[in-house]
């Protein structure tokens, strides 16, 4: 996630606050009865947009699952989160509290 500076954060707050302040001023000018009707209509529009937004927005990219990832080619680095122990002579693994060490010396 990109880092945002304090200046950009305040600019975003001001930009988001201007329409709200304008709406409050407009509703104060038109009167309580008309402001109630406009506020109700705006609430319905926002609620409907909130309901249909997941269907209108593109889906997020999902990281590939472990079962679908292809095996790395020989000589290429292991994908993130995995360890390529091919060609290693000594491997020590700690699985569920058991410490297992496997050493292979010499040619295979």
What 8-state DSSP symbol labels residue 104? -
pLDDT value at position 2? 65
pLDDT at 24 over 80: yes
Helix (H) or strand (E) holding 27: helix 6-30
- According to the model, what pLDDT value does residue 92 have? 64
What is the model's pTM? 0.38
Angle between helical axes of 32-56 and 6-30 (0-180°, round to 10): 140
Helix (H, G, I), strand (E, B) or coil at 46: helix
Contact 44, 38 (CB under 8 A): no
Confidence label for 39 from pLDDT (cuts 50, 70 and 90): confident
Per-residue pLDDT of 40-89, as tens digits, reads: 999 999 999 999 988 887 777 777 666 555 555 555 665 666 766 666 66
What DSSP element (H or E) covers 92? strand 90-95
């Amino acid at each position: 996630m990109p880092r945002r500076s304090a200046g950009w954060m305040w600019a975003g707050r001001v930009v988001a606050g201007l329409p709200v302040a304008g709406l409050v001023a407009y509703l104060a000018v038109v009167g309580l009865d008309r402001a109630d009707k406009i506020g109700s209509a705006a609430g319905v529009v926002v609620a409907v947009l909130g309901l249909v937004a997941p269907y209108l927005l593109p889906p997020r990219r999902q990281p590939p699952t472990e079962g679908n990832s292809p095996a790395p080619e020989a000589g290429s680095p292991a994908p993130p989160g995995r360890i390529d122990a091919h060609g290693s002579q000594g491997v020590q693994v700690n699985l569920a509290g058991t410490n297992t060490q496997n050493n292979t010396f010499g040619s295979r």
